[in-house]
Amino acid sequence: MILTAHQPVYLPWLGLFHKIALAERFCIFDIAQYQKKDFNNRNKIKTHTGPIWLSVPVESKDHFSKTLAQIKIINNGWNRKHFTSIDLAYRRAPFYRDYIGELEALLVGRTYEYLADLNRATLEFGLRALNIKTPVVTASDYEFRGQKSDLVLDMCRKLGATAYIFGAQGRNYADAASFTAAGIDVRFQDYQHPVYAQQHGAFEPYMSVIDLLFNVGPESATVLMSGNAGSVTQLAK
């Protein structure tokens, strides 16, 4: 069983969905510490003036002692502002009407107390739109032990993984020898960002997945994986 994991992030970028598509199970790693100025509570969309951040306000006091599952949202109307920004940026995109209704229901039609719940909802929206059917579990439902590489290894053992896909940065901390000793194949994602038809001038990579969906529509899954055959079949060990 090929496993991968990632912290819950807001309106994720393409690379996360690519990594999930390679796996046979995905774990939302909500037991990690919240990071300020990261993608835990923000992501980018492309507007006529260029990329902008959509940031969810959170109660980040004492965040060093809290997991992502414990971070609460400050519900001050941020969701309507985000929806307005998305509407203004993409209302003329060719596949806007295909996705905007579900996205509006997700952002404006619901209230979230915890950031991890919002992030899971935006992740699942993207998985449905891309027809990625990888089963999803949540780290806080288990009792994983250890730090850094050892924590990932314990997760693999308890979830029954025979292979684990790290992100590219995993090379900086993964203790591959300990995984090999446990009979778990170590792999690293190497995602090559595709270029696709995009509004508002020159192409900008690393936007939220909604940029791909609004611009490409039903071909989004094909574009997501395009140029990444090596990432699927030749993951580095």
pTM: 0.92
Q: What is the mean pLDDT of the chain?
A: 92
pLDDT of residue 170: 80
What contacts 56, CB < 8 A, 6 or more positions away?
Answer: 10, 41, 42, 73, 78, 82, 115, 118
Q: How far apart are CA 198 and CA 61, in angstroms?
A: 38
152-210 per-position pLDDT tens digit: 999 999 999 999 999 878 887 888 899 999 999 999 998 999 999 999 999 999 999 99
pLDDT of residue 169: 80
CA angle 25, 11, 19 (to 5 degrees): 30
Contact 203, 178 (CB under 8 A): no
